[in-house]
């Protein structure tokens, strides 16, 4: 539960998440396409559920997430070194977030939305994030770009050319929670959101999105 998966060089990796006892995991397992078997593939530096994962410049990246059942949201980022089989800590995000979306578009890595835990509210409620950041590989820092129109987390995502589509998800603010039917489209070349994208037929939380020609 709350894990992420990614494909790299003949393997499908299952990263972090929670087990049946709701323990948050550091474990990474991988499935060999050639052998048809699963094997243990080391551990993250930090246990992470609600983590975001993508492949960027030949490495697998694990971005944010939360690390305790009580809800400590992470700003840390790790990248997998396939040659040595270990995870290396990379530049932290500007602030913690979990259940975000991460994508590579036009050669750049973006993290969109997510949620952070407002520890000052009663019982500690997740609040949705509007921010969109891009990783500056030359300077090894995350930089803000144009924010989402609706803060959201646990959304679906797809990349088509220079555009990133973020689909559905959940919006939480001041204790109010609603699932979303809206779809936003970010044009990375214009650093702006595209108008007129049709909504979903009904609100969807945590949809899986793919693109096919």
**DSSP code per residue over 24-92:** B--EEEEEETTT--EEEEEE-SS--BS-EEEEETTEEEEE--B-STT--B---EEEEETTTTEEEEEPP
Q: How confident is the model at residue 72, as a pLDDT?
A: 87
Is residue 132 located within the same domain as residue 209?
yes
Q: Are residues 2 and 69 in the same domain?
A: yes
pLDDT tens-place string over residues 82-113? 888 899 999 999 999 999 999 999 999 999 99
Band (69; pLDDT cuts 50, 70, 90): low
Backbone dihedral region for residue 2 (phi beyond 0: left; psi -120 to 50: alpha; all else: beta): left
Tell whether 125 and 82 lie within a shared domain.
Answer: no
Higher local confidence (pLDDT), 20 or 144: 144
For 61: left if phi > 0, alpha if psi spans -120 to 50, otherwise beta; the answer is beta
Over residues 7-35, mean pLDDT:
95
- Is the separation of the CB atoms in 62 and 53 below 8 Å? yes
Last residue of a domain, one of 65, 90, 115: 90
**Shared domain check, 208 and 103:** yes
Q: Do 107 and 209 have their domain in common?
A: yes
The average pLDDT across 26-53 equals 95
Q: 78: number of CA atoms within 13 Å, CB side? A: 22
- pLDDT at residue number 59: 96
Judgement on whether residues 132 and 165 belong to the same structural domain of the protein: yes
């Amino acid at each position: 539960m709350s894990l992420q998966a990614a494909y790299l060089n003949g393997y499908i990796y299952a990263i972090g998440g929670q087990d049946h006892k709701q323990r948050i995991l550091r474990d990474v397992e991988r499935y060999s396409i050639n052998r048809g078997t699963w094997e243990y593939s080391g551990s993250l530096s930090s246990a992470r559920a609600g983590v975001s994962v993508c492949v960027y410049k030949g490495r697998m990246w694990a971005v944010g997430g939360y690390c305790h059942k009580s809800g400590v949201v992470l700003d840390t980022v790790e990248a997998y070194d396939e040659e040595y089989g270990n995870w290396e800590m990379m530049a932290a995000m500007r602030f913690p977030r979990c259940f975000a979306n991460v994508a590579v578009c036009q050669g750049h890595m973006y993290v969109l939305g997510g949620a952070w835990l407002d520890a000052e509210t009663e019982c500690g409620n997740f609040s949705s994030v509007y921010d969109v950041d891009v990783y500056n590989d030359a300077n090894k820092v995350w930089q803000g770009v144009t924010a989402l129109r609706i803060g959201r987390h646990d959304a679906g995502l797809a990349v088509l050319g220079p555009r990133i589509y973020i689909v559905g998800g959940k919006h939480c603010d001041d204790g109010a929670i609603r699932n979303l039917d809206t779809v936003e489209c970010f044009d990375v070349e214009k650093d702006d959101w595209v108008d007129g994208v049709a909504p979903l037929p009904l609100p969807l939380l945590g949809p899986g999105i793919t693109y096919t020609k």
